[in-house]
Amino acid sequence: MPFLRGFPEARIHSQEIIEKALDYIGHDNVRALFDHIEEKGLKRDEILDRPEKFAESLERLFGKAADIIEKQIIMEICMKSEDVKFDSNMTLAEAIRKLNS
Domain range for 57 is 2-100
Record the pTM: 0.83
Model confidence at 1, pLDDT cuts 50, 70, 90, reads very low
Q: How many domains does the chain have?
A: 1
H helix intervals, 1-101? 9-22, 27-39, 51-62, 66-80, 92-100
Predicted confidence (pLDDT) per residue in 11-62, tens digit: 778 888 898 889 888 999 899 899 999 998 999 889 999 999 999 999 988 9
CATH of the domain at 67: 1.10.1200.200
Q: At 12, is the secondary structure helix, strand, or coil? A: helix
Contacts of 59 (CB under 8 A, 6+ apart): 66
Predicted confidence (pLDDT) per residue in 73-95, tens digit: 999 999 998 889 999 999 999 99
